[in-house]
Amino acid sequence: MFDRDQRGELFAQQRLMYAAALGLTAGMTATMFYSLGAFIPPLQAEFGWSRGDLSLAATFLTLAVFLTGTFAGRLCDRYGASVIGALSLLAYALAIVVMVATMTSLIHFWIAYFVIAVVGVGSTPIVLVRPITTGFFAARGIALGVALTGAGIAGFWVPRLVTEVATAYGWREAYLALAGIAALVAPFVWWGFRSTSAPDASAAAPADGLSHAQARSQRSYWLLSLMAFAMACGIAGVVVHLLPLFVDLGADTQQAAKMASTVGVASVAGRLVVGYFLDRLPAILVSVAVLLLAGAGIALLALYGRDSGYLAAALLGLAAGAEIDLLAYLTVSYFGRRHYGAIYGWQYSVFALGYGISPYLVGRVRDAAGSYDAALLLSGGLMLLAAGCCLALPAARPRRAESLARPQTP
């Protein structure tokens, strides 16, 4: 299944994968996004805020990531992922504690989510994926898949934990539970990234590759940005609205939830499967295939409705699980490791912006049109745009040329 170089690399650098996966499952974006829906009922019950107003917190979270992502990447380039990742986990845990202790109004809630994202941006893939992309060569794709599975797993445990704790003790205690987990994970991330001979986990980046200024002058930089934005906009809104979409198509709530939950399972599998193929096939070919499969899932929903529900959800989940893997892999392939943190910080920030506004836009289009047909058409078009941007990318650096720059470990 894996050749000798890949097996050796996976064994030698396994701590990187486990530390990244652990950090990502307790990271700010995973816990705050996946928990928001579970917090809505108790917050509504106590404060009377509307669902729309509460959901706007996700927009503030995304905006903060967009504004600070590149800066977080630069800090990571300078001080290493071990320091920035661990400190960010501790900082956003502390910010949650402050929010719970001081929040009395909706504006406080929005500000708190913005601040949590600002201090917690270092616990996102911008920082925690960097040691994987710069420390792995032969097995980079599968290593990314394993590490990012941590974020996918958060989709299972975070809503359940928040619901159970909020029901038994209250929403404040549920927020404190998330803060406690982030704080507990921080030292493991620090130790896991520092206890390795791989580059870039705890030290400054090596010299191979482009600076951020040089990368910005490349056409591929902006094509990748447009691909990231179109990909996020095309998938996120449909995935978030899958359950109400299936209800609109005639499914009862229970059946709709079962079909929509296929996305979660497929996203975990997608990270591993796509990572495996990234190590064996050209990255552009794999990326285009994933984007077109997601477009096919959207087309199935538009043409066949709930009759294709499980298959469509699985195809969307495959892409939703692989988006960040593809973006990280393409970034290091085109621009190298020199300023990877800053460059990927920008690309991920653009992706996060698209991910944040897409659900709102899909909901607005649905309300205006009375159905999801127009939103599905628009989302499908965005997936084609993303695939087109990918096809327009020039040939990346050959794997052999990159591997010549890899440091030799004793």
Q: Can you tell me the distance from the alpha carbon of 32 to that of 355, in angstroms, rounded to the nearest whole number?
A: 14
pLDDT score for 59: 84
Q: Can you tell me the distance from the alpha carbon of 241 to that of 239, in angstroms, rounded to the nearest whole number?
A: 5
Q: What is the mean pLDDT of residues 220-233?
A: 95
Does residue 357 belong to any structural domain of this protein?
yes
Mean pLDDT of the chain: 86
pTM of the model: 0.80
pLDDT score for 9: 80
Lowest mean pLDDT among 61-70, 165-174, 235-244: 235-244
Residues with Cβ within 8 Å of residue 319, at least 6 apart in sequence: 231, 235, 270, 290, 291, 293, 294, 297
Residues 3, 81, single domain; the answer is yes
Residues 95, 225, single domain; the answer is no
From the list 123, 61, 126, the residue with the least C-alpha distance to 90 is 123
Per DSSP, the three-state class of 275 is helix
Lowest mean pLDDT among 20-29, 34-43, 114-123: 34-43
Q: Tell which wins on pLDDT, 12 or 382.
A: 382
Q: What is the C-alpha R_g of the chain?
A: 20
Per DSSP, the three-state class of 336 is strand
**% the chain with pLDDT above 70:** 93
pLDDT score for 204: 46
Last residue of a domain, one of 137, 170, 205: 205
- The per-residue pLDDT for range 135-151, each reduced to its tens digit, is 888 888 888 888 888 88
Residues 127, 146, single domain; the answer is yes
Does residue 410 belong to any structural domain of this protein?
no
Residues 201, 237, single domain; the answer is no
Long-range contacts of 209-212 (CB under 8 A, 24+ apart): 209/332, 209/335, 209/336, 209/337, 209/338, 209/339, 209/340, 210/335, 210/336, 210/338, 210/339, 210/343, 211/338, 211/339, 212/70, 212/74, 212/339, 212/342, 212/343, 212/346
Burial class (CB in 10 A: 0-12, 13-18, 19+), 109: buried
- The band of 403, judged by pLDDT with boundaries at 50, 70 and 90, is very low
Residues 239, 195, single domain; the answer is no
Domain count, the chain: 2
- The per-residue pLDDT for range 285-326, each reduced to its tens digit, is 999 999 999 999 999 999 998 888 899 989 998 888 788 889
Per DSSP, the three-state class of 209 is strand
- The per-residue pLDDT for range 89-111, each reduced to its tens digit, is 999 999 999 999 999 999 999 99
Query: What's the Cα-to-Cα distance from 100 to each of 25, 37, 177, 381, rounded to whole Å?
Result: 22, 17, 11, 42
Residues 262, 187, single domain; the answer is no
Residues 116, 170, single domain; the answer is yes
pLDDT score for 207: 54
Q: Tell which wins on pLDDT, 402 or 71.
A: 71
Q: Can you tell me the distance from the alpha carbon of 281 to that of 391, in angstroms, rounded to the nearest whole number?
A: 15
pLDDT score for 317: 85
Residues 195, 297, single domain; the answer is no
**% the chain with pLDDT above 90:** 43
Does residue 409 belong to any structural domain of this protein?
no
pLDDT at 30 over 60: yes
Residues 36, 110, single domain; the answer is yes
Q: Can you tell me the distance from the alpha carbon of 188 to that of 15, in angstroms, rounded to the nearest whole number?
A: 10
pLDDT at 213 over 60: yes
Residues 183, 253, single domain; the answer is no
Last residue of a domain, one of 181, 205, 229: 205
Instruction: Establish how many alpha carbons lie within 13 A of residue 110's alpha carbon, considering only the half-sphere containing its beta carbon.
Output: 12
Q: For residue 398, what is the DSSP state?
A: P
Lowest mean pLDDT among 9-18, 230-239, 277-286, 325-334: 9-18
The CATH number covering residue 86 comes to: 1.20.1250.20
pLDDT at 345 over 50: yes
Does residue 301 belong to any structural domain of this protein?
yes
Q: What is the mean pLDDT of residues 319-346?
A: 88
φ and ψ of 252, to 5 deg: -75, 170
Residues 32, 156, single domain; the answer is yes
User: By the 8 A CB rule, do 55 and 181 touch?
Assistant: no
Q: Tell which wins on pLDDT, 397 or 348.
A: 348
- The band of 215, judged by pLDDT with boundaries at 50, 70 and 90, is very high
pLDDT score for 270: 85
Q: Which domain holds residue 198?
A: 1-205
User: By the 8 A CB rule, do 145 and 325 touch?
Assistant: yes
pLDDT score for 205: 46
Q: Can you tell me the distance from the alpha carbon of 279 to that of 286, in angstroms, rounded to the nearest whole number?
A: 10
Does residue 111 belong to any structural domain of this protein?
yes
Residues 142, 232, single domain; the answer is no
Does residue 55 belong to any structural domain of this protein?
yes
Does residue 68 belong to any structural domain of this protein?
yes
User: By the 8 A CB rule, do 327 and 348 touch?
Assistant: yes
Does residue 119 belong to any structural domain of this protein?
yes
Last residue of a domain, one of 205, 222, 240: 205
